[in-house]
Structure 1
């Protein structure tokens, strides 16, 4: 049973902006006894409270979330949040730089998995992987 209140409505709207209907209404209204408490927590607490707090913008929260998911090696959730980050205005260049920065603090395997997940999402969305011409410049100097 879904209890609608301000936290629920704000959280559902945030989810809708970031993940569309599939990440909002479909997740919240098609729960089972197994996952209904998780979806309620995510909607109310995560997106209805924490993502609404002052101090960080929604795009900043997206960047931080992407970085933490790379660090934790959570590719499934990372793909979801890469889609959300793109909807929040984060560019493919910024996503690449977050993953590359992860090399320094999380290691090559974590950064590589992060880049792979980012590439999968960009490819699925039809976004060019030619972000800034860096690969072509590197190839010319080799």
Structure 2
């Protein structure tokens, strides 16, 4: 499993240095390491927030991180289904599409 810091740097590398530093040091270096929530719980909250707010650009990174942090495909699918009633059907459907894309990218190659 990659460290959050390495993943954060890679994910925001195209942004200005200060933004990348804040991402590494404050977001992934502080918030994600606080002990009040486990990384698994933080992933659940983050995915739900991104879907509910329709922030799809960040979603694949966090869906993959959620799977790495121990959330199952079934749990993530249930999050999307639950959110359909709170954030709207199209929002949840878009989240499910992103989840399917992440699942496909993580599947072992058939070759």
User: Which category of TM-score, normalised to the shorter sequence, fits these structures?
Assistant: 0.7 to 0.9
Instruction: Give the length in aligned residue pairs.
Output: 107
**CA distance in structure 2 between the partners assigned to 1:66 and 1:24 by the alignment:** 16
> Bigger shift: 45-54 or 58-67?
45-54
TM-score between both structures, scaled by the size of structure 2? 0.85
Aligned in 2, Cα 1:105/1:25: closer, same or farther, shift over 3 Å? closer
Q: Deviations over 1:51-90 (max 9, x none)?
A: 1112111100000000001011111200010011111111
Could you tell me how far 1:96 is from its partner in structure 2? Answer: 0.3
* Moved >2 Å (runs of 4+): 12-16, 23-28
Match in the other structure for 1:39: 20
Could you tell me how far 1:14 is from its partner in structure 2? Answer: 2.6
Does the alignment pair 1:60 with 2:41?
yes
Tell which structure's C-alpha radius of gyration is larger: 1
RMSD after superposition: 2.1
Secondary structure of the residue aligned to 2:37 is: coil
Tell me, which stretches of 5 or more residues in structure 1 are unaligned?
1-11, 17-22, 128-142
Match in the other structure for 1:14: 4
Q: Deviations over 1:16-68 (max 9, x none)?
A: 4xxxxxx255457xx57x52111111101101111111211110000000000
TM-score between both structures, scaled by the size of structure 1? 0.68
